[in-house]
Every structure is written in C-alpha cells, then in structure tokens.
Structure 1
C-alpha cells in the first residue's frame, strides 16, 4: 500500500510551480475516459434518433409521393378528356376554315381574272392607239428624211454652144435641180415686168425669190482664149479683153435693171459663171468687174459657189419644213404622252390589285402555318409545367368550351 502511495506520489511532470504526479495523471486519464464514454453514448443516442426521424420522413415522403401520383393520374385522365374535346373542335374548325378559304380563293380568283381581262383589253386599246400615233410620227420622220436625203451631186452635162449661155444654163439647172426639192425653184419664170430669168429660187417664210442668171458672155471669153492661143499681137489680146469687160458690164447692168425688182425679188441676184477657171481669171485679172458687180448687188458665182449657196438654201428650206412639221410632231408627242400616262395609271392599278392579292395570300399562309404549329404543339403535349395541387381544382380551370372558343377566336383573328 505504501509502495502504491509512493508510486502515485512520484512526480512525472513539472508545470510551472505545480508538480504533476502519477496519481494526478491517472485521475486525469480516468476523467478523460469518462468524458469519451459519455460522448460516445450521446452520439449513439443521436444516431438512433436520426435514423428514426429519417424513417419517419421517408414514410411521409412515400405517402406524399403516392398522393401526388394519384393526383397526376387524375389530371392525366382529365387532360386526355380535354384533348379529345379539343381535337374534335379543331377538326370541325379546320373543316370550316378550309371551306371558307376555298370560297375566298374562288371569289378572289374570279375578281383577279376579271380585273386582268379588263386591264388586258385596256392595254391592247392603248397599244393600238400608240401604234397609230407612232405610224403618224414615222410618216413625218420619213418626210424629213426624204428632205434630208436629197444630196447635192454634180451631174455631167453635155455643152451646147449653139446659142449664147446654153452651156452655163445647163450646168446651172443641173446644180439647182440636184440640190433643191421640186417646187422650190422654177426655170424661165416670168416676172411682172415681162422678163424671164433663167431660174428663181423660192425662199421660205414668204420672202421674195432669188434670181439666178446663166447668160454669161462666153463668146467674148472664147475670143480672149483664141487671141492668147494664136500668139498674135498684144493689141488683139487687149482688144478681146476690152470687149469681154464691156460685155460683162452690159450684162451686169441688164441683170440689175430687169431682175432686181423691189418687193418681188431679192435685192441681190446671182450671175453664174460656168467654169471655175473663168471665175478665177475674172477675180485675178478683172477686179474692176467684180467691184462693179458688188456695187450693183450682183454676186458672181462659180459652179462650186453656186452649189454651196444651194446647199445653204436647202438647209434653210429644210429647217422651214421641219418647223412646219414641228407642231404636228409636237401634237402627236403630246397625245403619245397622254396615252402613256393612261397606260401607266392602268398598270399601277393592276399592280395594286396584285399587291392586295399577294397580301391576302400571305395572310392565309401565315394562318395556315400557325394552325400547323398549334397542331404540332397539341400533338407533342407541349403545355408547360403542371399546375400545383392547390390550383388544380376544377373551379380554377377554365372550361373546355371557353378554351375552345378562345382558340377559335385566335385562329380566326390570326393575332397569336
């Protein structure tokens, strides 16, 4: 016993000023062991309580699951009943819709056919009038082209030297006849004083005609050429030149007195020289004759100058003819634009009818697509989350007839 007391009093550790003995250590270990045993017992008790509570909760969950399964079965039966009613209602509504669509399409087809017939007839009438106007315009254009197509050409004319001026007159007549249209000139016309010029050219806008004289003193010119060719004395060539100058002056005076009539002819006349070489010789060696002719308002012209003058006159006449035809063409163009305006209005009306038809067909296709989508949803049972037990009572649900009426309204309106 003493040994045990000594053993228990033996110090085993020193904690500051406190000496821990073996007895203290064994007492502490016993206390710790008791605490561990208590904690283990409490843990075992809590585990048993938790298992009991879990079993109670599992039983309660099983009962709730059975109740919910029963409710789901009941709702499924009710849903199948409603689905059957909705299927019957949709079938009837689809038949009515097909019948209504068929009637509307038939009526619309009839109206479109009638409208297209009227528009086609109106278009044919407008095109016929347009063709008539174009024919008139083509005729006027042909006349203008005929005037523009008259090109001045120089034709070979055989010289006739039996009488004075025959050679010059034949060339002058060829140039005038080739350059001007028939009726714009006259050969050997008689004036009020009884004189007969070789040619008069009628000017447009009521102005007096232009006189052309072709009686050039060719014999005097041939005498000059004969004197030069004979290589005789200078006095002979000088005498021939003086005779030629005198004859030309007399001829200029005769033209001025007989053909320049105030108010009846132009105040200027043409004296035609039948050769370019003679014309050049006159301007080179007989400048005084040219100045005298200018003072007498007589223009000396060669075949080239006469041709150019005739072309200018031709252009003036063509412009006058075109101005005369301009009001006719303008009137036809105005009527053509009126016909085109009426045709445009009718085409726009026809386009509007087609636009309305396309809009109605698009609405019909949209309604049909929506019906098909709703049928697919119904077939796939895509109705969202099932209602809770508190909201699943028959009083909270709308009646089948009300839903069918709402569905019918939505289908007809095409808003959903």
Structure 2
C-alpha cells in the first residue's frame, strides 16, 4: 500500500517535501469534511439563532402586549387625572376669581377710605397753612416787638413770668419785688423752711446777638460782634451778682434767663468763657426748658415741705384712730362675752326642753311609776333660765 507521502509522481514540492496526488486528495477530503462540519455547525447556529429570535420575538410581542395594556391603563389614569386636574384648576380659578373680586372690592373700599383721609389731611394742611400764614404775621409783629429794646425786654420777662406762673402756686413767687438794697429783680421764688428767696432775671443783650447773626461771612465783623456780646453778657452777670445776691436775703445762686433754646445752645458751644465766668459768680444761665425743669423741682420741694408740715396733724389723726380702734375692740369683746353667755343659756334651755320631751313621752306611754314631782322643778328651772335670757337680751339692747 502506497503512503500518502509517496514521492512517485509528485504534483509539487512544498519546501523539501514532495506533494503527491494522494496527499492532495486526503487534504481535499479533510477540507471537505471541515466544510461540511462548518456548514452543519452554521446550520445549527442559524437554527439556534432562529429559535432565539423567535423567543425574542415572542418576548417582544409579550412586552408589546404588556406595554399596550400599560399604555391603556396609563391612558385611563391620565384621563382620570386630567379630569381631576381640570376640575381642580376650575375650582382654583373660581376661588381665585372670588378672592380677586373680594380683594378688588376691599381695595376699592380702602382706596375710597384713603382718598377720604387724604381729603381730610388736605383740609388739615389747608388749616395749617392758614395758621402758618397767621403765624408769619405774628412773627412779623414779634420782629417789630424785638426791634424795640424795652418791648423786647418785656417780651423776655413775660415769657419767664408765664413759665413760673404755670409751674408754681400763687404766693410761691413775686414779680418785680424790691430788695433791701432797693434793687428790683424780675422775679423771686419763695423757698421752703424759711430759706432765702431765689432770684430770676430775664436780661439778655439781643442787639449784640443780632450783630453776630448779621455779620454772616465777614470774619472781622463777626469777631467784633462776638467780643461785644461777650462784654455785654459779662456786664449782665456782674450786675446780677452785685445787685441780687444778698447774704441772708437771697440764695447764693441766681438764674439768668435766656428766652431761646437756640441762643442757649450757641452760648454753651461758642462762648464757654461766659458760662464759666457766670458759674464762678454763682449765676446759672437757664433756657426756657431748664427754667421749667427747675420750677418743677422747686414745686416738688415745696410739696414735700407742706407734707412735712402736715405730718404732725396726720400723726395726731392716726393716734385718735388707734384710740377709736381700741374702744371698738373692747366693745366687740364685751359683745362676744354676752353672746357666749346667751349661747350657754340657750344650750341649757335645749337640755331642759329635751328632758321635758322625754318626760312627756313617758307620760304618754303611761309610765306613771316615774317621779312626777321632779317635772315641776325642771319646768320652773327652764322658765327661770328663759326669763334670765330675755332679761340679758333686753339689757344688751
């Protein structure tokens, strides 16, 4: 038997090996068998793939059917939800429409009310404007008054007198009094406990102050006006200290009244030397508000002094009240003793009454063997006690 690697009649030579026809046939058979196996395997794979495709198709069909069912259910749910949403939106729109109508109505009412209040305020503004116009006329008259030195002094003094008269009772102050040195301050205020009076003076150099205001941006004129104002204030402080501070007759301190809060602030801000000199001279510069505060303090001091003066009267009334209270307590205790005695007599009468009831019950039951003679003394004892109780009640009345 010839080998497949027989070198007889080689068809071709592969490398160093000759390839014959038998070898070629064996190789072809092997290739054919491999091709057949490949075709079989391919057919099997195709059938498996077909089965898998069918299974996937069935799965897809089932999923599609399920999806269609879910879509139908979702369509139904969405329809229901859409209906509910439409109903809810309609209700909310109706509620919003109602609230909007109510709000518009309330806003209309509020607008009318605001317009009414605005009209009232405009009327008030018109009245205030008329008052301002009349006040401007009064200010013009006030400027005319202040242009005259005597009338200006009378204006400052009248303002000081108004503050003092409103804050203190009659008799606690005196306007334009005459002191022992024949000087006449604008006002003296009586102090409690026999203390010397307090002097209040209303002099103020308004011409110098107006010169400072009229100087404007002129530095030299302002400096000259300031020096003149300082000199005039020092003269007023010296006059008050020399004329109105009298030992034993007036207080050691006097008030210099400035009839304007703004002027008072300017003095303390730009003329500190005047304030310090007035303090050293025991002169206190006061504005209307400070004078009013001082008047209120003095009024409190006077009220406390009057209360201390009346303290002995109050104490005497309290002593008499305690005496009356002691007598009332004594009489209440006596009345309590009378009531206690009367209660004892009433208890004795009740005891006698109980005994009489028991004896009556025995008599009614024909208990004749008891001692009948003793009932009479019991009855007489009860009558005597009742008579004594009546006498006591009559005596107490």
- Which TM class, normalised by the smaller chain length? 0.5 to 0.7
Partner residue in 1 for 2:204: 216
Asked if 1:284 is matched to 2:246, the reply is no
Distance 2:327 2:180 in 1: 57
Say whether the 8 Å CA contact 2:167–2:296 is kept in structure 1. yes
Q: CA deviation digits over 1:224-273, x for unaligned, max 9? A: 11223xx4x21111111111011001111111100111111111111111
Residue 191 of structure 1 aligns to a residue whose secondary structure is coil
Partner residue in 1 for 2:234: 249
Distance 2:374 2:344 in 1: 26
Structure 1: give runs of 5+ residues left out of the alignment.
1-155, 384-399
Q: How does 1:15-414 map to 2 (within 5 A)?
A: 160-161=145-146, 162=148, 163=150, 164-228=152-216, 231=217, 233-380=218-365, 403-406=371-374, 408=376
Residue 193 of structure 1 aligns to a residue whose secondary structure is coil
Say whether the 8 Å CA contact 2:352–2:378 is kept in structure 1. no
Distance 1:407 1:182 in 2: 87
Say whether the 8 Å CA contact 1:276–1:303 is kept in structure 2. yes
Once superposed, what is the RMSD of the aligned Cα atoms?
Answer: 2.6
Which structure has the higher relative contact order (CA within 8 Å, separation 6+)?
1
Offset at residue 403 of structure 1 (A): 3.2
Say whether the 8 Å CA contact 2:245–2:251 is kept in structure 1. yes
Distance 2:278 2:262 in 1: 19
| TM-score, with length taken from structure 2 | 0.55
Relative to structure 1, the CA distance from residue 354 to residue 344 in structure 2 (aligned partners, 3 Å threshold; closer, same or farther) is same
Residue 251 of structure 2 aligns to a residue whose secondary structure is coil
Residue 360 of structure 1 aligns to a residue whose secondary structure is helix
Distance 1:291 1:205 in 2: 31
Residue 210 of structure 2 aligns to a residue whose secondary structure is helix
Say whether the 8 Å CA contact 2:186–2:200 is kept in structure 1. yes
Moved more, 218-227 or 337-346: 337-346
Distance 2:304 2:367 in 1: 86
Distance 1:213 1:376 in 2: 105
Distance 2:166 2:220 in 1: 43
Residue 311 of structure 1 aligns to a residue whose secondary structure is helix
Distance 1:190 1:329 in 2: 38
Distance 1:351 1:367 in 2: 24
Say whether the 8 Å CA contact 1:273–1:301 is kept in structure 2. yes
Structure 2: give runs of 5+ residues left out of the alignment.
1-137, 383-397
| TM-score, with length taken from structure 1 | 0.53
Distance 2:339 2:279 in 1: 78
Say whether the 8 Å CA contact 1:279–1:301 is kept in structure 2. yes
Residue 256 of structure 2 aligns to a residue whose secondary structure is strand
Q: Aligned pairs, how many?
A: 239
Residue 335 of structure 1 aligns to a residue whose secondary structure is helix
Offset at residue 197 of structure 1 (A): 0.5
Offset at residue 323 of structure 1 (A): 1.1
